[in-house]
Amino acid sequence: MEKICQHDGRDQRKFYVAILDLDGFKQVNDLFGHNSGDLLLKALAKRMKRLFGKDNTIARLGGDEFGLILFSPLDKPVIESMLAQALRKITDPVEVLGSLVTVSATIGLSTFPEDADTPGQLMRLADLAMYAAKAAGRNTFAFYDEVLEARQQAIAEGVRLAEQALKESALVLWYQPLVALHGPVLGVEALLRLDRRDGTLLSPETFFSALDHPLLAGKIGRFVLDSAIHQGLLWLEQGIRLRIGINISARHLLDSSFMQDMHAVLERYPDFPRELIELEVTESAPMLDFPSAIMTLQAINALGIHIALDDFGTGNASLTYLQRLPAQTIKIDQSFVRDILVDDKDLAIVTGVTSTAQALGMEIVAEGVETLEHARKLERLGVNLLQGYAIAKPMPAAAIPDWVRCYKPVLLDN
């Protein structure tokens, strides 16, 4: 690439640098073994050579990452449609050692000479674009642009905000009720807020980057575990028995200190019933390191603590994957719940997830239930545990006891 970049002068040729990362490859390695992983890589490399044509260069960068230099097509709409088609083709199942295996890919691209004119810089920007595409949900592509640079700055700002909040003890938990249809209040989910001390609170959206930051995830996680369980105990002492849902970042869950943190908090609150603790782990977190996630989740279960798979439907979990995860609850992501009344695809996804959960004997929760109409539809689909604005918005801990005492089941009028 060095050579083509240095090729200065008037006929400087435009090209794209792309980094392609396979999604779910680690899971294949973990489930089917390294042999299958290697065969899959070979088969996909062949497929990609065909897809990207002979005018372009493709090389394996290591692991499940490939680098591409794309000289043609150069026209943006044309290359976009080629990339979209390539992504679709990559997800066609591959047969390895008698099993059909499916992975997807995420691609980040930078443009020479518009974005940068050195190989190192082009790779860095393509990598940045790749991470943005991953954050946008994988199985997609993104070109580097200034918006991305701005996003990087927002990430840095989020980390700064959370770091300061930790120092100034400005993190607080709000709680959102979880109810059974026709039945009682089952529990609450602890949701993090940053108190700006000027009467306003910031939602996690503004400091999302900090939740998975290597230096902050553990600190934030320990604060959340401690204050949520402490609060649960205070309610219990007032005669209000609530299950407490606690969000755990992937970074903290997969950190070697996680179980130590868990034991430490249980020792501080020995009187809080463990079956009232439910750790919410995003569906995609265990995929990052399946063997160690499984071990940690099993150890959590062995303590009598429940596990919920959060944001379910947003990753690309397979049935095999689900079967192997020691989880008791599935929380269907609000993005699917929101449109079940109008979008047949979302309805199909919720129906599918519900029957999967039922088949596996797992509890199913719908989050983001915004209207009673949603609640009724969910009831017909067999989803009986609900969380969302139709029931209650998140509220400060002090408001929970009165809310619980006054609560009337949402669908009593039916």
Could you tell me the two tokens for 141? Answer: 């592509």
Ordered DSSP codes for 297-331: HHHHHHTT-EEEEEEETSS---HHHHHHS--SEEE
Q: Look at residue 191 and give the partner it binds from Mg ion, ligand C2E, none, a contact being a CB closer than 5 to 8 Å depending on partner kind.
A: ligand C2E
Question: To the nearest whole angstrom, how small is the minimum distance from the Cβ of residue 373 to ligand C2E?
Answer: 13
| Burial zone of 277 (CB within 10 Å; 0-12 exposed, 13-18 middle, 19+ buried) | buried
What are the E-state strand segments in 215-371? 243-248, 277-282, 306-312, 329-332, 363-367
Largest CA distance in the chain: 79
Among 123, 224, 308, 362, binds ligand C2E (CB under 6 A): 224
Counting contacts by CB under 6 A, is residue 110 touching ligand C2E? no
**Residue nearest Mg ion, CB atom distance:** 280
In the complex, the smallest distance separating the C-beta of residue 269 from ligand C2E, rounded to whole angstroms, is: 17
CA distances from 327 to 302, 310, 364 (A): 12, 10, 11
Q: Which is nearer to Mg ion, 255 or 311 (CB)?
A: 311
Could you tell me whether strands 65-70 and 94-96 are parallel, antiparallel, or unpaired per DSSP bridges? unpaired
Tokens at 398, concatenated: 């002090």
Across the beta sheet with 57-62, the strand order is 57-62, 65-70, 15-23, 104-112, 141-143
CB of 315 to Mg ion, least distance (A): 12
Q: Which of 82, 191, 253, 366 binds ligand C2E (CB under 6 A)?
A: 191
Residues 394, 397, 400, 404: which binds ligand C2E (CB under 6 A)? 394
316 binds, among ligand C2E, Mg ion, none (CB under 5 to 8 A by kind): none
- If one asks whether residue 249 binds ligand C2E (CB under 6 A), the answer comes out as yes
Size of the chain, expressed as the number of residues it contains: 414
Under the binding rule (CB under 5 A), the answer on residue 127 touching Mg ion is no
> Which of 71, 269, 389, 403 is close enough to bind ligand C2E by CB under 6 A?
389
- At what angle are helices 25-32 and 290-302 packed, to 10 degrees? 70
Q: How far apart are CA 139 and CA 26, in angstroms?
A: 15
Residue in 247, 249, 284, 384 binding Mg ion, rule: CB under 5 A: 247
142: β partners: 108
Which listed option, Mg ion, ligand C2E, none, makes contact with residue 403 (CB within 5 to 8 Å by class)? none
Q: Tell me the residue type at 84.
A: A
Instruction: Check residue 203 for interaction with ligand C2E (CB under 6 A).
Output: yes
Residue 280 as a binder of Mg ion (CB under 5 A): the answer is yes
- Return d(Cα 102, Cα 25) in angstroms, integer: 9
Out of 65, 195, 370, 379, which residue is the one contacting ligand C2E (CB under 6 A)? 370
Q: Least distance from C-beta 175 to ligand C2E, angstroms?
A: 10
Per CB under 6 A, the list member of 69, 125, 128, 192 interacting with ligand C2E is 192
Residue among 21 and 311 whose Cβ is closer to Mg ion: 311
Give me the least distance between CB of 225 and ligand C2E, in Å please: 9
Q: Which does 397 bind (CB under 5 to 8 A by kind): Mg ion, ligand C2E, none?
A: none
End-to-end CA distance of the chain: 68
Kindly state whether residue 176 participates in binding ligand C2E, applying the rule CB under 6 A: yes
Q: Site for Mg ion (CB under 5 A): which residue of 127, 255, 278, 310? A: 310
Tell whether residue 368 is a contact of ligand C2E (CB under 6 A).
Answer: yes
Shortest-Cβ-distance residue relative to ligand C2E: 388
Question: 3-class secondary structure for 234-245?
Answer: HHHHCCCCCEEE
Burial class (CB in 10 A: 0-12, 13-18, 19+), 360: middle
Figure out which of the listed residues 311, 364, 388, 410 binds Mg ion, where binding follows CB under 5 A: 311
Binding site for ligand C2E (CB under 6 A): 176, 190-192, 203-205, 211, 224, 247-249, 280, 310-311, 334, 367-370, 387-389, 394
